[in-house]
Amino acid sequence: MSLHLQPVRVATSSDDSESQLVFAEGFLVAMLVHLSEQHEDDAGRWFLEAGFGRIPSRDHPTFLDLDEAQTWIRQQLGNAYVS
């Protein structure tokens, strides 16, 4: 499944503003936020700020980079289709 990313700035009331909207087949499925220096050990990671539809955002995982995040998102979408 191909994913499409679109950079946006998001208001989080913190230093975290760089964000990517993630679309799957034209549908918005997730919003990833790049964690700023204020997160110390997690700085630089990508945080699942919100997931829509089949993307569970209950546990708000973080990812090393956008590739890892997209792999995870594809897995979630795939799992959902199987189930």
Partner 1 sequence: MNSAPDHSLNMLVRKLESVAPLSHDERQAIQSLPVMTRILQPGQDIVRDGGQPSQCCLVLDGWTARYKLLSEGRRQILSFHIPGDIPDLQSLHLAVMDHSLCSMTVSTVAFIPHESLRDLTARFPGLAAALWRDTLIDAAIFREWMIGIGRKSAHGRIAHLFCEMYLKLHAVGLADHHRMPWPLTQIDIGDALGLSNVHVNRVLQNLRNQKLIILDRRNLTMGDWEGLSEMGEFDPVYLHLERRAAA
Give the binding site for partner 1 (CB under 8 A): 12-16, 35, 38-39, 42, 47, 59-60, 62
53 touches 42 (CB < 8 A):
no
Question: Least distance to partner 1 from the beta carbon of 60, Å?
Answer: 4
Of residues 56 and 78, the one with the C-beta less far from partner 1 = 56
Question: Least distance to partner 1 from the beta carbon of 57, Å?
Answer: 9
Question: Least distance to partner 1 from the beta carbon of 48, Å?
Answer: 9
Tell me which H or E stretch contains 29.
strand 27-34
15 touches 36 (CB < 8 A):
yes
d(CA 47, CA 11): 14
